[in-house]
Amino acid sequence: MTAEKAVQTTARRKRVQRLKRLIVFSLITAILTPTVLSVVLFVRLHGLEKQVAHLERMVADMQKQQSENADATPDIGIGEGLVFRLEINMPDESEEPEETKPAEASQDEGIQDGAEQQEEAVRKVYLTFDDGPSSNTNKILDILAQYDVKATFFVVGKEGEWAEDAYNRIVEEGHTLGMHSYTHVYQSIYASVEAYAEDLNRLRDYLYEITGVESRFVRFPGGSSNTVSDLDMHTFITYLNEQGITYFDWNVSSGDAGSRKLEPEEIVANCINGMGNKDTVVILMHDAAGRPTTVEALPALIEQIQAMDNTEILPITEDTLPVQHIKSQQETED
C-alpha cells in the first residue's frame, strides 16, 4: 500500500463517518420535531378546549337568564345564512300569560284535594318555524307526520316547483301557513308602511295562488320587538289590525338562529328550559337551509313535550292566544 493510497482511505473513512453522523442527526430531527410539535399542539388544544367550554357555559347561562326573563332573542337575519342576534329587553306590557300560574305549581295543596285538581287547563305548545321553505322543510314535515304533530310555518317567498310543493305540503298535512315576509330584507320591508304592505301582499297573493289558502297570521322578521326598524313597529301593527291579520311573536327561543350552530341537545334544552310554567308556549325555530341541527333536535323535543302531563302540541289557529312582545296602540294607550 502506498502512502498516497493510505491517505485516500483515511479521507474516505472520514467522509463515511460524516455521512453517518448526518444520517443519524437527520433521523433524530425527523423523529423529535413531530413529537415536540405534537406535545406543543396538544397543550394548546387543551387550553382552547377549556376556553370553549367556558364560553359555552357563559352562553348557556345567558340563554337561561334570557328565557327566565321570558325574553327572546329574535333573529336578525340577512338573507338566508347570515344571522346576528340582538339582546332585547321586552317591554313590561308583554302579553305573555305569565300572571296565570298553572295549578300544578302549588305542590302543597296537592295532598289534600289532589284528585279534585285533575281538571286543569291543558297547556298549549306551538312549534313555529321561520324562514322556510328550504331543503329542511320536507325533513321537518316528515318528522311532524311521524309524531302526528301539527305546527306553524312562517314562510318567506321562495320560487320554483320544490318551494310550491313545500307550501302545499304544509297546508295539505294540516299545518298552519303563516307569513314572515316575501323578501326578509329589513331595510326595504321596514322602510314604510307602504313598503311593508307591498311585501306582505305579494307573499299573501303568492301563497294563495299556490295553496288556495289566505294566510291570516304573521311573524315580523326579527319579531315585533326588533330594533332594526327605524319606524315605530306600532305603525305596522296598526296596518295588520286593519287587515284582520294577527301577528305572533314567541315566548321561548330555541336559539337555533345564533351565529354559533347549536348542537341538537342544546336546542332541546333551550326549548324545555324556556317552557317553565307557561300555559301558552310559542317556540321559535327555523327551517332555513343553514339550520340542520333544528331538524336533528326535533324528534327528541317532541318526545319530551309529549311526555309532559296535560300538555298538547297544536298549530296556531284563530283561537290561539297571541304571544306578542308589544301590544297594538289602542291597547297600550289606556
- Active-site residues, by number, are 130, 286
Q: Is the peptide bond before 292 cis (omega within 30 degrees of 0)?
A: no
- Using alpha carbons, select from 279, 278, 281, 284 the residue that is nearest to residue 226: 284
Residues 19-48 that bind Zn ion (CB under 5 A): none
* Position among 131, 199, 266, 287 found at the interface with Zn ion (CB under 5 A): 131
CA-based max dimension of the chain: 121
Q: For the CB of residue 36, give the shortest distance to Zn ion in the complex, in Å.
A: 50
Give the number of residues in contact with Zn ion, rule: CB under 5 A. Answer: 4
Q: For the CB of residue 138, give the shortest distance to Zn ion in the complex, in Å.
A: 19
CB atoms within 10 A of CB 9: 10
Q: For the CB of residue 38, give the shortest distance to Zn ion in the complex, in Å.
A: 45
Q: What is the DSSP letter of 256?
A: T
- Is residue 74 part of the contact set for Zn ion (CB under 5 A)? no
In terms of CB distance, is 128 or 280 closer to Zn ion?
A: 128
- Is residue 256 part of the contact set for Zn ion (CB under 5 A)? no
Binding segment toward Zn ion, per CB under 5 A, in 215-223, 275-283, 311-319, 324-332: 215-223
- Is residue 178 part of the contact set for Zn ion (CB under 5 A)? no
Q: What is the DSSP letter of 105?
A: G
- Is residue 77 part of the contact set for Zn ion (CB under 5 A)? yes
Cβ atoms of 301 and 147 closer than 8 Å: no
- Is residue 130 part of the contact set for Zn ion (CB under 5 A)? yes
Give dist(CA 56, CA 64) in Å, integer.
12
Give dist(CA 84, CA 49) in Å, integer.
24
The answer for residues whose C-beta is within 8 angstroms of residue 199's C-beta and 6 or more apart is: 181, 182, 183, 188, 189
- Is residue 249 part of the contact set for Zn ion (CB under 5 A)? no
Site string for Zn ion, 219-238 (x = CB under 5 A): --x-----------------
Q: For the CB of residue 129, give the shortest distance to Zn ion in the complex, in Å.
A: 10
Q: For the CB of residue 144, give the shortest distance to Zn ion in the complex, in Å.
A: 20
Strand partners, 89: none
Q: Which residues bind Zn ion (CB under 5 A)?
A: 77, 130-131, 221
